[in-house]
A = this chain, B = another copy of it.
Amino acid sequence: MKPILIVHGGAGDIAQSRVQGKLDGVRLAVREGYRVLQHNGSALDAVEAAVVSMEKDENFNAGYGSVLNLAGEVEMEASIMSGENLDVGAVTLIKDFLHPISIAHKVLTDSPHSLIGGQGAKQFALDKGFPTVPQESLISENAQAALKEFLENGGEFGKTEVGIAEGGVGTVGAVAIDVNGHIAVATSTGGMTGKVVGRIGDTPQIGSGTYADDNIGGVSSTGHGESILKVCLAHSIIKLMESGVDANTATKEAVTAMTSRLKNTAGAITLSKDGDVGVYFSSKRMSWAYIKDDKLFYGIEQGEVLEENYVK
Chain A residues close to B by CB (< 8 Å): 81, 86-88, 92-93, 111-121, 123-124, 157-158, 195-201, 204-208, 211, 225-226, 229-232, 235-236, 239, 243, 261-262
- The copy count of this chain in the complex is 2
Q: A86-B261, A206-B205 are in contact. Are A226 and B112 (CB under 8 A)?
A: yes
Q: List 29 A-B contacts (CB under 8 A).
A: A86-B231, A88-B229, A92-B200, A111-B196, A112-B157, A113-B157, A113-B196, A114-B225, A114-B226, A114-B229, A115-B199, A115-B201, A116-B200, A117-B118, A117-B198, A118-B118, A120-B197, A123-B197, A124-B198, A200-B204, A205-B205, A205-B206, A205-B207, A205-B208, A206-B230, A207-B207, A207-B208, A207-B235, A232-B232
Q: What is the chain B residue whose CB lies nearest that of A86?
A: B230
- Whether the pair B229, A115 counts as a contact (CB closer than 8 A) is yes
Interchain CA distance A196-B225 in the complex, whole Å: 26
Interchain CA distance A243-B244 in the complex, whole Å: 13
> Chain B contacts of A119 at CB under 8 A?
118, 197-198
> Chain B contacts of A230 at CB under 8 A?
81, 86-88, 114, 206
> Chain B contacts of A199 at CB under 8 A?
113, 115-116, 120
The residue that A229 contacts in the complex, of B158, B206, B243, B261, with Cβ under 8 A, is B206
- Whether the pair B232, A207 counts as a contact (CB closer than 8 A) is yes
Q: What is the chain B residue whose CB lies nearest that of A197?
A: B120
- Majority secondary structure of chain A interface residues (helix, strand, loop or mixed): mixed
Q: How far is the CB of A209 from chain B (nearest CB, A)?
A: 11
- Whether the pair A124, B196 counts as a contact (CB closer than 8 A) is yes
Q: Which of A88, A120, A239 has the most B CB atoms < 10 Å from its CB?
A: A120
The residue that A117 contacts in the complex, of B113, B117, B226, B239, with Cβ under 8 A, is B117
> Chain B contacts of A117 at CB under 8 A?
92-93, 117-118, 198, 200
Interchain CA distance A157-B201 in the complex, whole Å: 27
Q: How far is the CB of A251 from chain B (nearest CB, A)?
A: 16
Q: Which of A117, A121, A158, A229 has the most B CB atoms < 10 Å from its CB?
A: A117
Interchain CA distance A111-B114 in the complex, whole Å: 26
Other 20 A-B pairs with CB < 8 A, given A116-B200, A117-B118, A206-B230: A88-B230, A92-B117, A93-B117, A111-B196, A112-B157, A113-B199, A113-B200, A116-B198, A117-B117, A118-B198, A119-B197, A119-B198, A120-B198, A120-B199, A124-B198, A205-B208, A207-B229, A207-B235, A211-B232, A236-B239
> Chain B contacts of A196 at CB under 8 A?
111, 113, 116, 120, 124
Interchain CA distance A235-B207 in the complex, whole Å: 9
Q: How far is the CB of A214 from chain B (nearest CB, A)?
A: 11
Q: How far is the CB of A93 from chain B (nearest CB, A)?
A: 6
